[in-house]
Amino acid sequence: MTGVQTCALPIQYLLEILRSGLYDEFFEEIRTGLIPFLDPKVYGRSTLENCSFIASSVNPDKNVWGQGFVARMSGSNAEFISMWQYMMMGDKPFRMEDGKLCLILSPILPGWLFDEEGKITFKFLKSVVTYYNPSRKNTYGVDRAVITKIKITDEDGEIIELEGDIIACPYAEQIREGRMRYIDVYMI
């Protein structure tokens, strides 16, 4: 094996496409440029085995040829995390409004990333966030899914229901402090 191309475009470039608001172009590019979306036969291994580099046949140790290695935290790793955060939460999830902290989740996700039930789940600080998008619409653009309701569950299991897309004080502070277990975000 002489090496496998694992990313058609540099992560920095993809991040800047996303940040510049070229969302359709970004999601088109990641389908062929990010490991999770590659065909495992083309990638040469499971896409769950993401690696920073692959030892090629140029390496003097034949035992490592074709083996993937993960570097320590690098700039591209940090940029990938920034890209993921931008997609899942938006540019600035915590903001000050009228002198008080609020949390506004503004995901930038294509409909095809939601599962068959229209859900996608991720961890944000200490909370598990689930977006419910039954129509599986994009969360950006003209005909996008819109957040209509948010349910947050505290450490004691108490559920707080909020209308709209803003989590205001004191709940935003409690989320930042890690005192909320779940954030369920409903879209239409």
Block mean pLDDT (10 aa), the chain, length 188: 48 93 96 84 74 80 81 73 95 96 98 98 97 98 97 97 97 97 98
Phi, then psi, of 29 in degrees rounded to 5? -70, -40
pLDDT of residue 35: 79
pLDDT of residue 11: 85
Rounded to whole angstroms, what are the CA distances from 140 to 47, 106, 127? 27, 9, 24
pLDDT of residue 2: 38
